Amino acid sequence: MTIGFEVLARDGAARRGRLATAHGVVDTPVFMPVGTAATVKAMTAEGVAATGARIVLGNTYHLMLRPGAERIATLGGLHRFMNWPYAILTDSGGFQVMSLAKLRKIGEDGVTFRSHLDGSAHLLSPERSVEIQRLLGADVTMALDECTPYPSPPAAVEKSMELTLRWAERSRDAFVDRSGHGIFGIVQGGVHPDLRQRSAARLKEIGFDGYAVGGLAIGEGQATTFAVIEATVPALPEPCPRYLMGVGKPADLVGAVMRGIDMFDCVLPTRSGRTAQAFTRHGQLNLRNACHAGDPAPLDPACGCPACAGHSRAYLHHLCRSGEILGAMLLTAHNLQYYADLMVAMRRAIENGALDDFAAAFAEQQT
pLDDT at 350: 99
pLDDT at 99: 81
From 91, 209, 300, 341, active-site residue: 91
Cis-peptide, bond into residue 67, ω within 30° of zero: yes
Whether 91 is a known active-site residue: answer yes
Chain centroid to Cα 341, Å, comes to: 16
Could you state, in order of their start, the residue ranges of all structural domains in the chain? 4-266, 268-367
User: Is the pLDDT at 294 greater than 60, yes or no?
Assistant: yes
DSSP state of 364: H
Whether 265 is a known active-site residue: answer yes
The CATH code of the domain at 4-266 is 3.20.20.105
User: Is the pLDDT at 265 greater than 60, yes or no?
Assistant: yes
3-class DSSP state of 14:
strand
Residue pLDDT, tens place only, 195-216? 999 999 999 999 999 999 999 9
From 139, 262, 265, 300, active-site residue: 265
User: Is the pLDDT at 1 greater than 80, yes or no?
Assistant: no
Cα–Cα dist 314/316, whole Å: 6
pLDDT at 367: 74
The residue with greater pLDDT, 101 or 315, is 315
Q: Output the CA torsion 248→65→211→171 (10° steps).
A: 160
Residue whose C-alpha is closest to residue 45's, from 88, 79, 76, 83 = 83
pLDDT at 95: 84
Residue pLDDT, tens place only, 40-90? 999 999 999 999 999 999 999 999 999 999 999 999 999 999 999 999 999
Residue 367 one-letter amino acid: T
